[in-house]
Amino acid sequence: MSIFQEAKDDNCVMKLKVLILSLGLLVPTTSALASAAPSPGSKCSKSGQTKIYKQRKFTCVKAGNKTVWNKGVQVKISKPNNTQSNSSPKDPSPTLPARPDRLTLDNLDPYWTQRIAMEKVNSYLRSLNAIKDVGKIISSPKTPKEYVQTERTLLDKSVTLWSKYFMNENMKIVIFTNEDSDWADSALIEHGGSFPNKVSDEIKKQSQFNCNFGFATLADQGRTPIYYMCTDLRGRKSSDTHNTPHEYFHLVQQKLVWANGFQEFPVWLHEGSATFFGTAVGFFDDDPTGKKSLDFYKELYWQYDPDNTGVRNFERLKGVLSSISPEGAVKLYEPLEKTQTNNSNLHLFGHYALGAIATEALVAVYGFETYMEFMQDFSKRNDWKANFENRFGLSIQDFYKKLAPYLRTKA
């Protein structure tokens, strides 16, 4: 379940998200552990042990007082040449469509749009001098060091990318695990910020699947940006690298939008843009085709449940997108023009995935800096639709209509 709540009094931006994943079975005996196929988060017998399985090298690491298999790294296994065969080897790489000379909202290519959007973000990032070690990371004793290092790397990238728009050296990042219920409750009291319920209750609920949620907020009467993040000792999913840039972008939004007293911020811009930037920064290095990002969006399709049936159904939104018309796109996005404040059921309209798709189209066509100039426009005028038309040159309804062919490819 994905929950987001904004507390207007505290200028708090909070988001919870959970993605279901298969957990490794706990095998009771040492001999069984040694022979079982490794899977991320499943038990292993000895720290430092390695095993290659399905072209991935897994390493047994300590996680708290346990030893578990990490997520593994891809390895290339050479195959012997067959000198007896006269047949020519097949080219394993698919034929890619030609890259468009110029991408517009009228020719959003189903393959290249996502890739070009991610390239534009990372090209801008590479043009900057890297900024390191801004902000203080506070981790629970049970949080593995490699988890902390991963988040530090992602945080450094995020700070660098948005340094022109936001930076606060007093920022804090609090990392805990699925086994840190009491510690997390104490950390919220000690370091500040707001949350709609006890963090320990949320850990318990999310740990039925995978403890992968975060929330961005403000502490010290609004002076200190802070975000909290749960990680799972049973193994992390590769898409977890989306979390830190996602939450950091919420702090950027806080600076550019809410700090200027503007509350009418559409939820598809709010959560959707954070989802896109989370994938653009977190996935780019190991997502050369953009497929991982698209698969991640599709994992969020289950949230689309406008009739509130309570049934997880990934096909429901796919069915809507597969034949969507320009007018249908307008109807799809109009509910997402509401703000999250006092609209706790907005996740039922798929704002994470649909907002991410819309954001990637804007960044692919207009570029990262133009998109950020649009964010800065919120400090000048409290009319987001007028800001949109002024910055991108078309009305918001015309934008939705032009998205329709591209949305059909996302089915």
Contacts of 317 (CB under 8 A, 6+ apart): 301, 304, 350, 353
Secondary structure of residue 88 in the 3-state scheme? coil
Q: How far apart (Å, rounded) are the C-alpha atoms in residues 251 and 209? A: 27
Q: Which two tokens mark 318?
A: 């796919």
Q: Where along the chain do its domains lie?
A: 3-21+105-409, 34-74
DSSP 207: T
pTM comes to: 0.74
Pairing of strands 50-53, 56-63: antiparallel
CA 69-73-77 angle, to 5 degrees, is: 115
pLDDT of the chain, 411 residues: tens digit per residue? 333 333 333 334 334 333 322 233 233 333 344 446 777 878 887 777 888 777 777 888 877 778 888 877 776 654 444 444 333 344 444 567 888 889 999 999 998 999 999 999 999 999 999 999 999 999 999 999 999 999 999 999 999 999 999 998 889 999 999 999 999 999 999 999 888 889 999 999 988 888 888 888 888 877 889 999 999 999 888 788 999 999 999 999 988 887 666 667 899 999 999 999 999 999 988 887 778 888 888 888 888 888 888 887 889 999 999 999 999 999 999 999 988 665 567 778 889 999 999 999 999 999 999 999 999 998 888 889 999 999 999 999 999 999 999 999 998
Q: How far apart (Å, rounded) are the C-alpha atoms in residues 376 and 393? A: 16
> In this structure, what is the dihedral angle of CA atoms 279, 285, 290, 293, given to the nearest 10 degrees?
-30
Pairing of strands 214-219, 224-231: antiparallel
Q: Maximum distance among all alpha carbons in the chain?
A: 75
Q: How far apart (Å, rounded) are the C-alpha atoms in residues 129 and 245? A: 18
